[in-house]
């Protein structure tokens, strides 16, 4: 295929000469901010830990071994699978998945609502959605803790109207973590779905109704499949950072809700840290996420070729 040059053979030649230098900033950004750190992380995950943080340049699989395999408390038993970290992994996926679903169920109607307002007021609604995000994530998460704690406004007002006698123990529960994640990442769900719904041709819904589809069938057979790219983008944008989140689990959850983000966070903090192990957990997490995304993209490509 011919290059998208402006005109003719000489134009293409000029274009080809320019394209590399012009792409340099992009390559620099991607290289320095993405490729290099990932490589560093990969290398660190194979190094030996130093006891007061940092690493010794001694290549070993110790970090991965620590993640997957246990030899008992004193290291003298036969090797078995270590379930602790896999359990944290699983719990993180579960928590992030629930938070994503929560975001989807609230975010989709919100996005739909905004996208179906008159064009003039949509900007205002989107602006309102983003306002809370001007405040630092840490402060927002702590505030949420104050709202839902036993003497917080939520419990006090529920008690005042007589719905409950004793305060609901919300802090340090899975629900609190999901609420935190939901609150942290909701706009990442709303914005891509909004973009998809805004482009949606409402004549398609009329066509479906005209062809005997009920409202539910129209949603299932036409609306959702057509805006699916926006939904998928939103789910990825919420799920991936939720998986590695550590503020919400740390502040709103307790020991029982320990998640991957906190695990990684701990490895790089203070003298008890273990940099290679933290790097290894990060690498495992990234590999998992990448694999799922690639499998999904492949399935999509197959569907589109059909």
Partner 1 sequence: MTAAVDIHEAVKRYGSVTALHRVDLSISDNEFFTLLGPSGCGKTTLLRMIAGFEDVTEGEVRLFGENIARLEPNRRPVNTVFQHYALFPHMTVIENVAFGLKMKGVDAATRRGRAGRMLDMVHLSAFADRMPDQLSGGQQQRVALARALAPEPKVLLLDEPLSALDLKLRQAMRVELKQLQQDTGITFIFVTHDQEEALTMSDRIAVMSEGRVQQVGTARDIYEAPVNRFVADFIGETNLLEVDVARVEGGTAEVVLPGGHRITCPSATTAPGRHHLSIRPERISLSAEADLTATVDRVVYLGTDLQVMVRLEGGTPFSLRMQNAARVSPPEPGATVGLHLEEGAARLLAD
Binding site for partner 1 (CB under 8 A): 201, 203-204, 206-214, 217, 221-222, 225-226, 228, 306
Q: Which is nearer to partner 1, 32 or 204 (CB)?
A: 204
Q: Which is nearer to partner 1, 227 or 284 (CB)?
A: 227
Min dist. Cβ of residue 229 to partner 1 (A): 10
Q: Which is nearer to partner 1, 142 or 232 (CB)?
A: 232
Beta strands 80-81; 69-70: pairing state = antiparallel
Q: Rounded to whole angstroms, how far apart are CA atoms 98 and 103? A: 9
Min dist. Cβ of residue 108 to partner 1 (A): 18
Q: Rounded to whole angstroms, how far apart are CA atoms 47 and 275? A: 9
Q: Which is nearer to partner 1, 139 or 203 (CB)?
A: 203
Min dist. Cβ of residue 201 to partner 1 (A): 7
CB atoms within 10 A of CB 87: 11
Q: Which structure tokens are listed for 213?
A: 């589809």
Q: Which structure tokens are listed for 125?
A: 């609604």
Q: Which structure tokens are listed for 56?
A: 């010794």
Q: Which is nearer to partner 1, 71 or 220 (CB)?
A: 220
Q: Rounded to whole angstroms, how far apart are CA atoms 122 and 230? A: 17
Min dist. Cβ of residue 52 to partner 1 (A): 57
Min dist. Cβ of residue 194 to partner 1 (A): 19
Q: Rounded to whole angstroms, how far apart are CA atoms 263 and 248? A: 13
């Amino acid at each position: 295929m011919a290059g998208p040059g402006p005109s003719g053979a000489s134009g293409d030649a000029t274009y080809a000469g320019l394209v590399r230098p012009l792409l340099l900033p992009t390559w620099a950004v991607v290289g320095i901010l993405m490729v290099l750190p990932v490589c560093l992380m990969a290398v660190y995950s194979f190094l030996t830990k130093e006891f007061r943080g940092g690493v010794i340049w001694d290549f070993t699989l110790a970090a991965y071994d620590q993640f997957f395999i246990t030899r008992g408390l004193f290291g003298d038993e036969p090797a078995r699978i270590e379930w602790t970290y896999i359990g944290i992994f699983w719990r993180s996926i579960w928590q992030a998945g629930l938070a994503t679903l929560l975001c989807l169920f609230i975010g989709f109607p919100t996005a739909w609502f905004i996208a179906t307002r008159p064009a003039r007021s949509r900007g205002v609604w989107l602006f309102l959605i983003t306002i809370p995000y001007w405040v630092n994530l840490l402060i927002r998460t702590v505030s949420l803790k104050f709202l839902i704690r036993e003497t917080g406004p939520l419990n006090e007002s529920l008690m005042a109207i007589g719905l409950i006698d004793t305060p609901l123990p919300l802090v340090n529960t899975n629900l609190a973590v999901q609420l935190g994640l939901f609150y942290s990442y909701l706009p990442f769900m709303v914005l891509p779905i909004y973009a998809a719904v805004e482009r949606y041709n409402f004549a398609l819904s009329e066509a479906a109704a005209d062809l005997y589809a009920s409202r539910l069938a129209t949603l299932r057979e036409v609306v959702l499949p057509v805006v699916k790219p926006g939904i998928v983008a939103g789910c990825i944008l919420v799920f991936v950072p939720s998986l590695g989140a550590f503020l919400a689990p740390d502040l709103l959850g307790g020991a029982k809700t320990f998640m991957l983000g906190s695990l990684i966070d701990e490895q790089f903090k203070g003298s008890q840290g273990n940099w290679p192990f933290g790097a290894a957990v990060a690498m495992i997490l990234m590999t998992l996420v990448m694999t799922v995304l690639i499998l999904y993209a492949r399935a999509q490509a197959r569907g589109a070729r059909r």
